[in-house]
Structure 1
Amino acid sequence: MEIKGVHHVSAITANAKKNFHFYTEVLGMRLVKKTVNQDDTSMYHLFYADEVGNPGTDFTFFEIPNAGHTYPGTSSISGTSLRVPDNTALKYWQERLTEFNVDHDGIMRQGERNIINFRDPEGQRLTLVSDETNQGVSGGKVWEHSSVPADKGIIGLGPTKLTVRKPDATIRILTELLTFKQTGSYPNSVSGQADILIFSTGEGGTGAEIHLEVRDDLPQERPGRGSVHHVALRVDNNDELIKWKNRLEEIQLPNSGLVERFYFKSVYFRDANGILFELATDGPGFSVDEDVEHLGEALALPPYLENQRSKIEAKVSPLYTNRSH
């Protein structure tokens, strides 16, 4: 039983149309699945990723039109990073973000890596991280129709940052339950705050890290548009996921039990700081119900929701994602 890395990150948007434009046109990611939140089918669930939505490349969004402003704080998934091939790609992105009037901080160092911190139009806290020195989990492949050149494009998810007030409970989950080890740290950009701790699992590298920030100067986060709902971690297959579910029950940690998401299977649980973790299988993937060439163009529903299609389509606003539009 080993966690292989980050599987996906799911965040909140208040406007699917503007979200689709930013992540596909500005960031050059591919919409690999346009579906709905299976727990509330009145809202879209959009998956942006590499060319086919390989595990570890998916950044997903729930559309909640009335979502309020996010007030950043603790007990939060406070940063999502996106991998690019190398330092040269980061220079390209610095120019591109400026060209598109995206709020960013320019190239800087984070430990041994070059990064760019930036915000999407809703204030989503994002980081581009260079894979120049990566020797761990390999990235995905940029879609051939991306608005960004293949040698510069986003190739997957990098480290996920958690912000907590009391770190011990989260550290125990990462190191005693999950298979993470503390492998380093780097200075916090906020003066007077402790170094940010790096936890790594599996093959390690940019695609297999959680960064833990301790803040004693912030209230608990009030989430809204531009916040992250949960982080999912990679489990090899269904048999292994069952073992993880059993392990959660052994230590009496409340969890969702096995959840069928059609594109993968999952188990959800929270740590004592309120961080929502998901364990998700690598397969079967997003081409299980759509041709690879046409991923994300139509509203995809798993078989157990198909009989509700007309009702679901009536509730969600039209979102044109076909490349001909």
Structure 2
Amino acid sequence: MELLGIHHLSAMTANAQKNVDFYTKILGLRMVKRTVNQDEPSMYHLFYGDEVGNPGTELTFFEIPRAGQNHNGNNSISTTSLRVPSDEALSYWENRLNQYEVENEGIIEQFGRKVLPFEDFEKQRLILVSDEKNLGVVGGHPWEKSPVDSTHGIIGLGPIHLTVPDIKPTEAILTRVMGFRRAGDYIHHQSSHSVVVYETGEGGTGGELHVQERPELKQERLGRGGVHHVAFRVSTESELRNWLAKLNEIGVGNSGFVDRFYFKSVYFREPNGILFELATDGPGFATDEDQDYLGESLALPPFLESKREEIEQKLNPIKY
């Protein structure tokens, strides 16, 4: 069994409309699914991605309107990377972010790649990373109707950054249980602390976790602008069930098998408390909507369809 790379990442927002405006109009992602949190249907769950929301391109948000600001700290998914095709694309993006007055640090180097750190309107920490030297997991395909030039468009999720008080137990579950390989390290440009890089599948920008040990930090308090969990790609449902059996065999507490309709999942926490998910590549977002109209109306999984009227009354309409 081998995890194929990053599947999706789910973050928190307090304003669904502003979130849609930022991620579709400024970053040029396609909203591929407008649905609800299946565990709490009174809140939106918005999915952005490439042209069809291919696995590895999905950035998702739960809307909690009264959520306080995220308090950055330890035991956290601390930064989310988004891949762009080339170094040239980063120059395009630096100009675009400045044009829209998006806070950014300019183009720097990180682990031998050009990157552009920035923040969204809720101070979520993000990085655009160049795929120019990538030889690993292949990226997706920007949506042709995006406001961003397709030659420079975002092609998927890049390395996901974790901050932990003790790296040893996290490394143990990554390498001994999940099959990640240690790929190198570098010094973080802000903290001057060492960051250890782990890779899975074909590696590269679509298959990396960057882990920083910061014992002096307080634990993060999750809120708007924070990240809830990261998911890793599993090829099939049968393989996911094998992973579940493995977790149970070695005594890792988990959610059991969960059917999310668009993919099947298993959730568990690594030793520093960060929530991980294993998710299948399919069946995908075109399961209940025509591919040409993804995200244009509220989609509900079959088990929630009978409650549509009640659910829609609790949600504020989104213009898209």
Q: Is the pair's TM-score, using the shorter chain for normalization, greater than 0.5?
A: yes
Query: Which residue matches 1:255?
Result: 254
Pair 1:234 & 2:260 matched: no
| CA–CA distance in structure 1, aligned partners of residues 190 and 50 of structure 2 | 33
Partner in structure 2 of residue 225 of structure 1: 224
Residue 192 of structure 1 and its aligned partner are, at CA, apart by 5.0
Q: What residue number does 2:36 align with? A: 36
Please state if 1:129 is matched with 2:148: no
Q: Which position in structure 1 is the counterpart of 2:175? A: 175
Structure 1, 84-93 or 214-223: larger mean CA deviation:
214-223
Find the residue that maps to 1:300 and give its secondary structure: coil
Which residue pairs with 2:147 in the alignment? 147
Identity percentage over the alignment? 57
Cα distance in 2 for residues equivalent to 1:49 and 1:245: 27
CA distance in structure 1 between the partners assigned to 2:188 and 2:204 by the alignment: 20
For the residue of structure 2 that corresponds to 1:171, the secondary structure is helix
Deviation for aligned residue 1:190: 3.6
- In structure 2, the residue matched to 1:290 is 289
State the alpha-carbon separation in 2 of the partners of residues 181 and 34 from structure 1. Answer: 35
Q: Which moved more, 1:105-114 or 1:211-220?
A: 211-220
Write the distance in 1 (CA, Å) between the matches of 2:246 and 2:223. 32
CA–CA separation in structure 1 for the residues paired with 2:61 and 2:160: 16
| Letter matched to residue 207 of structure 1 | G
Match of 2:213 in 1: 214
Determine the structure 2 residue equivalent to 1:203: 202
Shift of 1:104: 0.2
Q: Where do residues 309-320 of structure 1 align in structure 2 (5 Å cutoff)? A: 309-320=308-319
Is 2:243 the counterpart of 1:244? Answer: yes
Task: Give the unaligned 5+ runs of structure 1.
Answer: none
Structure 1 position 44, deviation (Å): 0.2
1:178 aligned partner, one-letter code: M
SS at match of 2:306: helix
- In the TM superposition, residue 237 of structure 1 has moved relative to its aligned partner by 0.6
Letter in 2 for 1:139: G
**Which whole-Å deviations, capped at 9, do the CAs of 1:189-222 have from their partners, x for residues lacking one?**
24552x1000001111100000001112310001
Residue 268 of structure 1 is matched in structure 2 by 267
Structure 1 residue 272: deviation in Å? 1.6
The answer as to 2:112 corresponding to 1:112 is yes
Report the secondary structure of 1:47's partner residue: strand
Distance 2:32 2:191 in 1: 40
Mapped partners of 2:168, 2:237: distance in 1 = 30
Amino acid at match of 1:213: Q
* Partner amino acid, structure 1, of 2:263: F
Could you tell me how far apart the structure 2 residues matched to 1:190 and 1:51 are? 34
Judging changes above 3 Å, is the alpha-carbon distance between structure 1 residues 54 and 191 closer, same or farther for their aligned structure 2 residues?
A: closer
Shift of 1:268: 0.1
- Provide the C-alpha distance between the structure 2 equivalents of 1:164 and 1:189, rounded to a whole number of angstroms: 17
Aligned to 1:90: 90
SS in 1 for 2:95: helix
- Relative to structure 1, is the Cα distance of residues 315 and 167 closer, same or farther in structure 2, using a 3 angstrom cutoff? same
Specify the SS of the correspondent of 2:278: strand
CA–CA distance in structure 1, aligned partners of residues 313 and 58 of structure 2: 27
CA distance in 1, matches of 2:60, 2:160: 14
Give secondary structure in 1 for the equivalent of 2:295.
coil
CA distance in 2 between counterparts of 1:40 and 1:287 reads 23
Distance 1:226 1:47 in 2: 16
**1:262 & 1:152 partners in 2: Cα distance?**
32
Q: Deviations over 1:128-185 (max 9, x none)?
A: 0000000111000000100101100000000000000011111011101101000111
Verify: 1:18 aligned to 2:18, yes or no: yes
Superposed displacement of residue 111, structure 1: 1.5
Q: CA deviation at 1:320?
A: 2.4
Question: CA–CA distance in 2 between the matches of 1:109 and 1:192?
Answer: 14
Inter-partner Cα distance in structure 1 for 2:173 and 2:319: 41
Structure 2: give runs of 5+ residues left out of the alignment.
none
Q: Aligned to 2:209, what secondary structure does the other structure show?
A: strand
Alignment-mate amino acid for residue 311 of structure 1: E
Deviation at 1:319, TM superposition (A): 1.1
Matched, 1:306 2:300: no
What is the alpha-carbon distance in structure 2 between the residues aligned to residue 59 and residue 237 of structure 1? Answer: 21
Give the TM-score normalised by structure 2.
Answer: 0.99
C-alpha offsets along residues 91-150 of structure 1, whole Å, 9 cap, x if unaligned? 000000000000000000001100000000000000000000001110000001001011
The RMSD of aligned alpha carbons is: 0.7
TM-score, with structure 1 as normaliser: 0.98
Alignment size in residue pairs: 320
